[in-house]
Amino acid sequence: MSTETPSNLEHITPAGRKWMNRKFILSAIAIVIAVVVAWLVFHRSATAPAPAPVASALVKTAPLRQIDLSESLTAFGEVTTGQVVAISFPRAGQVSRILVIPGQRVERGTPLASLTSDPNARFAYTQAQSAVDFARGELRRISELFSLQLATQSQIDAARKSLTDAEANLEAQRQLGGGVGSATLTAPFAGVVTTVAVAQGDRIAPGAVIMELGPTNVLRVRLGIEPADSRLVRVGTPVTLSSLADSSKSVSTKIAESQGLVDPRTQLIDAVVTLPASSSSFFVPGMHVRAMINVGRHQSWAVPRAAVLTDANGAYVFQVAGGKAHRVNVTQGVESQGMVAISGPFDTHLPIVVLGNYELQEGMPVREGGAAG
């Protein structure tokens, strides 16, 4: 009796056949998805644009140089007249008229004030005159008695001494103005009235100051120096003065006086500059000026002023190495004639960017358009 091997499919249940059909469908779907994804990737890579070239900046560079720079201090001050002189009457009296006002320019011999002599001084002068007349008459009378041998030589000597004393007293009263009803005070030199110390009608004592007069042939500039910097300022230190209103108007001079006390009002130490008025006709008393005080010179690594930038982290420059810009933080020093002294971890052999540095960033490629200076 023969037996037949049944087919494998005959043993698969209906549930198994259903599961196999589902697996076949899922496999087909996966193959279709893979084909679509591969086509999309290929199509995108074939149509994608070429990458944009890396941006670079056009700059101009300058070599880092070591030069001799002058170090200077900036100070401010006010132009005044020369050394002020007090003007006074040598005698007591009453001010009858004030003929000038503060700030007025006067020439030598200009009337400044009128004074009426003090009544007490006039009375003392009259008494002195009477004493001279009496002493002179007494000497004449004693001399006549001596000729008649009615007086002694000692009496004559005493009369002569009395006359001499009376004449001396009269001269003193004359110098005190007792013999003058009124007098006029005049300017002893050309200058500017800086202060009027009395008013019309005031009674004054002998030698009392009437006003102050400052000469204008020499001007003085009082500069305020920070106490920490005052050690650098000495007599003879060069100074350049310029007007605050117009910096093109300037004159070169030197420190004439350096004081050693702090002004309690300004908390600064004063340094005084004197200059002939003829050399600075554009300076007038009362004008405010700026002073550049040259306190020394020294060698420094320096770059043009435009090469130094600043931000929240401080001052910095860009150096070019390998075609790229590299930021270097620096410390600024003195500035002179458009050059700034710098110190920091820079490479002295690499050029400094002086133009186009505002648009640079660390590591940015650069194109050099030429070297400056």
Alpha carbons 4 and 291: distance in angstroms, whole number: 125
**Segment 194-218, tens digit of pLDDT:** 889 998 888 888 788 999 998 888 8
Domain, as residue range, for 27:
12-47
**Segment 252-262, tens digit of pLDDT:** 888 888 887 88
**Segment 172-183, tens digit of pLDDT:** 877 766 666 678
SS3 annotation, 169-228: HHHHHHHCCCCCCEEEEECCCCEEEEEECCCCCCEECCCCEEEEEEECCEEEEEEEECCC
One domain for residues 198 and 108: yes
Please report, for the domain that includes residue 248, its CATH number: 2.40.30.170
The pLDDT of 77-87, averaged and rounded, is: 85
One domain for residues 173 and 117: yes
One domain for residues 208 and 220: no
**Segment 300-316, tens digit of pLDDT:** 888 888 889 988 888 99
Please report, for the domain that includes residue 196, its CATH number: 1.10.287.470
Query: Is 329's pLDDT higher than 80?
Result: yes
One domain for residues 288 and 140: no
Does residue 53 sit within a domain?
no
One domain for residues 208 and 227: no
Domain end position, chosen among 164, 188, 213: 213
Strand partners, 366: 57
Does residue 87 sit within a domain?
no
Mean pLDDT of the chain: 80
Query: Is 330's pLDDT higher than 80?
Result: yes
pTM above 0.75, yes or no: no
Greatest distance between any 2 Cα atoms in the chain: 219
Query: Is 26's pLDDT higher than 70?
Result: no
Alpha carbons 302 and 342: distance in angstroms, whole number: 6
User: DSSP alpha helices (H): ranges in the chain?
Assistant: 14-47, 119-147, 153-175
* Per-residue confidence band for 22, with pLDDT thresholds at 50, 70 and 90: low
Please report, for the domain that includes residue 344, its CATH number: 2.40.420.20
Does residue 5 sit within a domain?
no
* Per-residue confidence band for 343, with pLDDT thresholds at 50, 70 and 90: confident
One domain for residues 103 and 192: yes
Number of domains in the chain: 4
One domain for residues 106 and 78: no
Phi then psi for 195, rounded to 5 degrees? Answer: -150, 140
CB-side exposure of 55: number of CA atoms within 13 Å? 5
One domain for residues 146 and 123: yes
Q: Which residues have a Cβ under 8 Å from the Cβ of 304 and sit 6 or more positions away?
A: 62, 338, 339, 340, 354, 372, 373
